[in-house]
Chain A
Amino acid sequence: MTNAPTNAASAEVTAIDSGARRPLLLLLGAALVWLVVSGVLALITSIQMHSPGFQADCPVLTHGRAAALRETAFIYGWAANAGLAIALWVLARLGGAPLRALNWAVIGTIFWNLGVAVGLVGIATGDMTSFAFFQLPRYVQPLLVVAYGAIAVSGVLAWSGRRTDQTYASQWYAVAALFLFPWLSSAAQVVLLWAPVRGTLQALASGWFTQGVWACWLAPLALAGAYYVVPKVSGRVLPSYDFAPLSFWTLIFVGAWTGGRHLVGGPVPAWIATMAVVSCSLLLFHYLIVGLNLRVACGAEGTGIKFIRYGLAAYVLGGVLDGITSFRGIALRTQFTLISDAQEQMAIYGGVSMMFFGAIYYMVPRLTGRPWASALFTVGHRVLVTSGVTVLLISLFVGGWIQSGELLDSKIPLADILGHLRIWFLLGSAANLVILGANILFLVNFCQSACVCSPIQASTENLFRQPTALEAPVS
């Protein structure tokens, strides 16, 4: 029936996992700490939405700075560390060999997180750059690129030294993310920080970077994990997989062209916004294929797969919404409102982070050789974070819809609009509180699972069931 190698030696947990344990757990631990930090900041910024006086006398936490700190801690703290850990592990697993150059990865992790910490202090004290996803002050940016490179070396070696010639979608996405971020970041640094271009060209370059970070870095990192975990757990072949390469290249090639998405009607030539509209439409193909490929997640069970299911729904829905709201007739209403925030949260929290959670829940027991420490915390985190994010998205979308309608009517003063949004801002704060609580549970659970100093149980064979070979589809 199948010609896949099914030797008994391919146990579920091997030296690939135990060898990478410390470096990857270090990355994950850093990621979770930043996730909680960013959650605290998210709570502060959302309280400031309904009570503008909150912490306003504190110069390091003006709304603008707190929002920048939250975003930076989320992207460069949580998403980067977690995504790198997942990408390295997936590449090692599929490459069939233990990770090499892990000392570099550890050094890179230390310097990356040091750089993020210094950068956050810099933002808080007034050195932020005011570009979306790129607020870190320029004195830490080169350090981050170098540190990233040091971590990524392991992954690229795992890719080029893989045991078989065969490749899989997870590997493409992981390698793309590892390889492309340094290019994106250094190109943006040159034109925005070291030799800034003039006037609105900065907004354009910043838009290119933001969308590039999304399409060539964050989304591929998340998909690398999801494409790996879904067939592994469900035991089913991905449907419509023959379109996966086209979907991959669509994302990578078209993604950054959506850079003018938020400049519709703005002080940039018409063709830039038109290009963004067209690119958002083309990306619909990518989202469609990802949805078709990973739909087998719906029939599977497990903590990780439940997260991935949520993430997948948010990812595909977010892509469709991006496509719709990029059109000028819609953008003139949704632009500059909470709907933009809602879409961003839907992408980076609902989509990417949920897929990260799913991959982490699958991955950590294999790294530590132990199950997660607490079933209660595991389920609690999942229930709380999914409901929290859902409520947050609802509050932003509904509030944004009301706001966008009232902004169109010039007779309604802005102060009144904010008054009408108060209930939704309060709901958003409640949601952020729930999310923060959930992520603290996650952090505690992770520490208990990873940091217990007892030796690894010898009974991993009993813990992990022996997987069987995947059967080829009958066509």
Chain B
Amino acid sequence: MKNGPVFFLGLFAAVTISWAGIVLASHAQLGGLVPYFDDTEGKSFPERPAGIAARGQLVYADLGCASCHTQQVRRPGFGSDQARGWGDRQSVARDYIHQARPQLGGSRLGPDLTNLAGRKPSAPDAEDLLKLLYVGTPVHPRYQFLFETRPIVGEASAQALRLIGNLAPAAGFEVAPSERAQTLVAYLRSLNNTYEYPEARPAPAPIAAKGEAVAHGTPAASHQETKQEGKK
């Protein structure tokens, strides 16, 4: 510690090495991840979200929804993620490559939303989600600032919420979702991880080593990728 330059160099090296080891190394491994082309379906997965959904993700981020909702399903054996119907497979890095701001989240006060639109038997539709946002539940806050109560001019808006009882607005008024509410709901309705990538269903470990390895460290997934890149 006496030697100033060496001390500073050591500090700098500490940060640089961990940076290189975690951020750069994983970037080298995953930064070039391409969508997986499925020959059977004739499409690449994940599919690029619609523009309105991508904008909705920004609303999701700026309201801080991620402070109570995660968007990552863990593999069987890790909690009750799949038993709760949050997804049929674990989330993998490829799921997120089209997302500008992945919202993995860190707390599960609310349910996981990874596969909200792909849930079986019934995924919530836009009306369910808008009503949840407007009305709330005993455990979910209501976000009425995302809606506008306005007088009905001419014909009632098709987007207005159908509210009954004491929630209904005064006669001659309607409650319509703002643009932010609509993009947020479009985003939530785009959350879907039903497609199974090869890396999400790894084969069980081989029981015995079978002599010389045939293909050195070439998992099926990277094989597929090369095929697809070759086609382009």
Contact = CB atoms under 8 A, between A and B. Distances in A.
A and B touch in the complex (CB under 8 A): yes
Interface in B2-17: 2, 4, 7-8, 10-12, 14-15, 17
Contact of A418 (B92, B139, B144): B139
B144 A57 contact: yes
A63 to B, nearest CB: 6
B27 to A, nearest CB: 6
Task: Identify which of B11, B65, B138 gathers the most chain A CB atoms within 10 Å of its CB.
Answer: B11
A252 interface: yes
B138 A415 contact: yes
A52 B7 contact: no
Nearest to A156: B8
Interface string B101-134: 1111111111100000000000000000000000
A67 B67 contact: yes
A269 B79 contact: no
A165 interface: yes
B40 interface: no
Chain A contact residues, majority secondary structure: helix
A49 B22 CA distance: 34
Interface in A265-322: 265-269, 272, 275
Interface stretch (A24-32, A105-113, A402-410, A427-435): A402-410
Contacts of A197: 23, 27, 31
Interface stretch (A11-19, A76-84, A336-344): A336-344
Interface stretch (B70-78, B163-171, B183-191): B70-78
B100 A196 contact: yes
A340 B90 CA distance: 21
Given A172-B1, A269-B26, A64 B68 contact: yes
Nearest to A51: B141
Interface stretch (A231-239, A256-264, A380-388, A465-473): A256-264
Query: Interface range on chain A: under 10, 10 to 19, 20 to 34, or 35 or more?
Result: 35 or more
A249 interface: yes
A171 B4 CA distance: 12
Contacts of B78: 265, 328, 332
Nearest to B68: A63
Contacts of B68: 63-64
A474 B159 CA distance: 83
A450 to B, nearest CB: 33
A211 to B, nearest CB: 9
B111 A414 contact: yes
Contacts of A85: none
Interface string A207-223: 11000100010000000
B30 A340 contact: no
Which 4 pairs across A and B sit closest by C-beta, in order of nearness?
A: A64-B64, A56-B141, A410-B83, A199-B96
Interface of A: 48-49, 52-53, 56-59, 62-68, 126-130, 132, 159-160, 165, 167, 171-172, 175-176, 179-180, 183-184, 187, 191, 196-205, 207-208, 212, 216, 245, 249, 252-253, 255-257, 259-260, 262-263, 265-269, 272, 275, 328, 332-333, 335-338, 340-341, 407-410, 414-415, 418-419
28 contacts: A49-B109, A65-B63, A126-B63, A127-B62, A130-B64, A130-B66, A172-B1, A175-B7, A184-B15, A200-B104, A201-B30, A201-B31, A202-B101, A203-B104, A208-B19, A216-B14, A253-B18, A256-B18, A262-B106, A267-B72, A267-B92, A267-B95, A328-B78, A332-B79, A337-B107, A408-B80, A418-B109, A418-B139
Given A67-B64, A204-B22, A341-B107, 17 more contacts: A52-B139, A64-B63, A126-B62, A130-B66, A172-B1, A191-B27, A196-B101, A199-B99, A200-B102, A202-B102, A255-B18, A265-B78, A266-B72, A269-B29, A332-B74, A332-B77, A415-B137
